[in-house]
Structure 1
Amino acid sequence: MERNNNPPPTPEDATKATEEQRELQDKLEHQNEDPEAPAATQSYRQIPDES
């Protein structure tokens, strides 16, 4: 009995994101950003502690 140990080849497009996937990923990465927020470009170290 012969065994085939070679898995089927990966489809070429399986490793490339579609335009829809890129748009969704971009939305997910930037979902909590507000460009108009005060101190949006400052880190927590640059904002004074008010406690």
Structure 2
Amino acid sequence: MVEGKVLVELKIIIQFEDVHLAQALNYLKVYKLAIGLLINFGSKSQTFKRLIL
């Protein structure tokens, strides 16, 4: 969590799957945050998803 406003989740996986997005969205709901970043370092190039509730 960055300054109590943005959730950042780091992954090392080949590609994002629905379960990874669902997990990050659940974290946003639990911590009552509106913005999150899901960052993957496991693929050939870095990928990310911006999540907004």
Give the TM-score normalised by structure 1. 0.31
TM-score by length of 2: 0.30
Higher relative contact order (CA 8 A, sep 6+): 2
Structure number having the greater strand percentage: 2
